[in-house]
Amino acid sequence: MSFETRASLRLWSAVLVLALPAAAAAWQAQPPRPAAPPPVIVVQPPANARFQQVVREHEVRDQLQKSQLEEQLRQNQTDATRRPYAANPIHATRLDQADQAQRELYRARQQDLLDRYQNAVAPPVVHPDKSPASSRSGG
């Protein structure tokens, strides 16, 4: 073997000797992969559930429209009540506060109606790793 061949073999051997521990340390230093989230099982509703859902959708839509009309009537009444007191800032401020409270109440009622509808039509979600609360409470 020539001198150049032996020198290149020694160089490669030295590179491998130095690179192997560094590669092993880098491989061991990698963080563990996070565990996959548990699967979510969606329970299919019975066959007549779609009809029931459509009925509930219509009921909610009707209730929302009725509530919206009532709010419009209330706004008209508030505007009519406000006219005679427009020049008095104390009465105007009180009417503004009352109107704001009524609007917040209206929004809360609408949101409650939508939340109850969503809870009624959403399919139940079962987490396989969690048992029901009733079975956990031993007494």
pTM summary value:
0.48
Share the mean pLDDT of the chain: 77
- With a cut of 80, say whether residue 115 has pLDDT above it: yes
The answer to whether 39 and 126 are in contact (CB under 8 A) is: no
- What Rg do the C-alpha atoms of the chain give, in angstroms? 36
Q: 102 exposed, middle or buried (CB, 10 Å; 0-12, 13-18, 19+)?
A: middle
**Percent of the chain at pLDDT above 70?**
70
**How distant, in Å, are the alpha carbons of 6, 11, 14, 57, 106 from that of 1?**
7, 15, 19, 89, 95
**What local confidence, expressed as pLDDT, does residue 122 receive?**
67
95-106, pLDDT tens digit by residue?
899 999 999 999
The pLDDT tens digits of the residues spanning 23-37 come to: 676 666 556 677 777
3-class DSSP assignment, residue 71? helix
pLDDT tens across 38-79, in order?
A: 787 777 667 787 788 788 888 888 888 898 899 899 999 988
Residue 43 in contact with residue 124, Cβ under 8 Å? yes
Q: Residue 137's pLDDT is what?
A: 47
- pLDDT score recorded for residue 129: 63
Q: Residue 127 to residues 35, 124, 130: CA-CA distances in angstroms?
A: 16, 10, 6
